[in-house]
Structure 1
Amino acid sequence: MLVNDSLLNILLVDDEPFIRKGLAALIDWEAEGYRIAGEASNGRNALQLMVEEEYDLIISDIKMPEMDGIEFLSYVRNKKISNARFVFLSGYYDFQYAKTGMQYGCCDYILKPIQKDELLAALRRIMEECRREAGRNKDNKVYEKAYLDRNIMALIWGKYDDVNLSYVKQKLKLTDKVSYLHLEISLRDERFLVLSDEKRREEQRKLYHYAALLLKDRADHIIFDVTKSTECYDIGIIYSDYFAKDRNMSSKDWTVWLVMELTERIGYTIAACSGSKVDSIEAISDSYREASMMRFFRFSSKSENDAAPMASNNKTVKNLQPDYLRKELEDLIHSIEINDTVKIRTSVKLIYSRMLDPHIESEAIGLNIQYLLYRLLGLAYELDANINQDEILHYMKDAVFSSDKIKGNEYKFMRFIEDYTDYLVQLRQNNTKGTINQIEAEIENNYAQNLSLKSLGEKYYINSAYLGQIFKKNYGCCFKDYLNNVRMRKAAETMLRTNKKIYEIAGDVGYKNIEYFINKFEDIYGMTPSRFRKRNLAR
């Protein structure tokens, strides 16, 4: 039978085996909140057991060979081996001797022969004391954690003094490189979205609880509800490099592992983003602000839902952003519009540094990012009113933080702006018919290869996002579906013209997974490849 973790461990110590067995059988220990976790014949043997197991209560005879009960208790207390409570078993003639044990911290004694009622009374007194003490310890831990969180938050917000810094360094195990990791239950998960706010907050606390279980002795690195937003159900983690090293993982793999574990336990989609590593905990606010910017780029449901109407009415959007960044943003947008690469780089560096300013609230960062996205979307909309605004907005958000090879968030931001500027240039040129014909021929001839929008875009010097738009506009489907249709057409032709087996044909047209090939074939032709071949050859 599995034993509940809340049961208290008992060690029985007596040189008479029948006494130990009698004690074990006398009462229902689990019903009283205990379990017998070990037995020893004298104090010396008991000490050996205590090296391997932690005990909450030790029930020991007084008179035993090699090391008696009093010697055993005094040794445990003097050497500070354990804080376990002691109960002595004694005869009437041992009463004065048992009183000596009280001086060393024995909490009770039971006369032999042992009576069930007397044993139960002693166990219940001890259990009540343990519960009161556990309650006090829990209250102290809650208070200490709340105080630690306040000090960590002071560092995260960049508004700290030496007292905050000293306390955090004392309590957290930190390496030279640290970063801020943001985790939240995604509002894009419809199962979570339909919950009441009270239920959502309950799930947020579960997220914190499960993260603490996974981080174990590093749970103090977790902070609950950092953003303080009514529309964000988050926790934050002060990440140190040894988290991943202890599991023989890279930082990225560790984050992926954590997100997968939390998603499995809580049952809702968990979104994560991390700021860049900084040289010390004193600079954690920079990492936090980068993570905040990432969040607004990638997880802001508000910006995603409002994208289309905002793009066609830029005057409405202007009111979102603070006056102190209006000029910088307008300068960047103008530089993008005229394709001035020098001014673009200068503007990006300035804006990025301004957004890391600790005096700017995180909500203001989000509003500025939303404004920039809407204005960029508006530039594309003015050049081609038929563009898919939702798809372009997704591209803008994903492009900033998509590549593993990119060095840092500022560099990613710069690359995104430069790529989007190229995209606008190609929209203006609007002369892609000849290129599309070439790409169509490329797919027709090389359909079995690992083709992608990215590889084709690089080969024919066309922005991959814009190429995806062209496919939808010209063929009424996305690139992936177009490629699948070509492959299935080629597969169907091969089935009717050759005797090749189905799995061979699947490989010939570019599919390694035969089940995936069959499913895709059924989607298009409404039947399995085998049935398709039989039906058409029978005519």
Structure 2
Amino acid sequence: MLKVMITDDEIQIRKGLRMKVDWKDEGFEIVQEASNGQEALALLQTTEVDVVLTDIRMPKMDGIELAKRCNEEFPHIKVIVLSGYSEFEYVRSTMKEGVKDYLLKPVAPDELVEVLRKVRKEIEDEKKKLAESAQIRWLASTHLQEVQEQYLLHLVKEEWFELNMVHERLRQLHLEELSHERVKVRFLSVEMREYDENPARLKEMWLPFKMLCKEIVQTHTGTYTFYDPSHPNMIQLIHLIESNNDSTTTLVKEIQKNVKSLLNVETVIGIGNMVSGIREFKTGYISSLLAWSQSQIGSLSQVIDETEIKEEIFEFPVDFERKLTNAIENADFPSFKEKLNNFMGETEKQSILSFSYMANRVLFLLGSLAKKYDMETKDIQNTLWNCQQSIWELNSQRKVIKHLYQLAESIIEKVRLTRFSNGKLIVDSIRNYLDKHYANEISLTTLSELFHINSAHLSETFKNHIGKNFSDYLVNVRIEKAKQYLNDKELKIIDVANLVGFSSSGYFSTVFKKHVGQTPVEFRNSIDEID
């Protein structure tokens, strides 16, 4: 129902207007009456109103002044003026002051109904446009958030080399505050649990749970979310710690309180150790997962703070991951096994917590390699999950190492096939990598390091199989993705440029026109013409 205020200094006229039409049938409800413009404005401060029906001549403040003030202070309100015949031209001249329509006294019921229907249609059309605009804005923010989440997951689980490139990408995605050299953050692993452990119920509640967590996070500056497919029913948070003000506890309490009261499900939250700088993000993420893994089985809401369990410094040599990667990329399982066993086999010298941390770092590395070689099959996912489960058990180090060996062997077998496929499988893997990471700063040197191939040989092989060099292929992927983003009118051209990996809108426009024949603005306008 649209809400109406009747303003007239004569009470009998106000009563008459109430009786002239069936307001409810026309979709209206009279919620207030006022005897002059001044009184009406005071009521509008506390009452939600869509339409004001006002006489033109009133004491203290007349209808024209009321319309003008409504136009300034409540622009969404439609004002309909009632006037005598002698005032007709005067009223018409004031339409620009906020008067939406006018009726001559005495008001005929059919004329009043006609004006009300016209105003109602206008209000409904405006609300529809506002809803569509809000939907576009939501989609625009959703696009950005999705790319942000994908990149944060990439930072904590996959290989990356150039720190300056990471800083640039974080800037493009409006995540600059995470790129500061001494930034301090905590990771939180937030799992949803249900009383009866009913999978169907958990599946049904996953989307509301995820959206609620994101809404809460939006009220906490410097907090971001991402989703790790390896951990179902769980959302991951990165929480920026300001100097001398760790608000993690407040955030955790708010999540648990709202999820319980609004969704009637429990939450188990693992709080990781505070870490400094991007290079420590993997350590921080794993520590939150380790905290979560020490929760009690069942649906009881719990908070496990890693720092309260044991303050332990995890030492993970910088070159260790590189040595393991080299062994796998060279299809040398004995070398991988020897290095892993030398580093992790001495279990008597490690705590269970330290061993679990190391195992997770190796598992992240192997998962990243499996993804790079496009091995995200059901069997590989099961192997990853089984390995993760054995780590969470915290009681069988040999079992964990055995799972890591099995996973490494599977990846090495794929590497061998790739190496002996006359370049086809390696090119497929590179193309798959480019399709997923097109927005990152990628050079031929980066690819050659990632796939352990001479850059000149890689360039030649890629062009032989694809028909174009890798840089042209990457630009084409970016341009096609940009076309999709340009459909969202709320995204600025610089936003689209950043989302697809261009650092400036000018360079993006130049490249886009070269490939499409139109500038991004012209392409967007052409979409409107087709629609």
The TM-score, its normalising length taken from structure 1, stands at 0.47
| Higher alpha-carbon Rg | 1
Larger RCO (alpha carbons 8 Å, 6+ apart):
2
The TM-score, its normalising length taken from structure 2, stands at 0.48
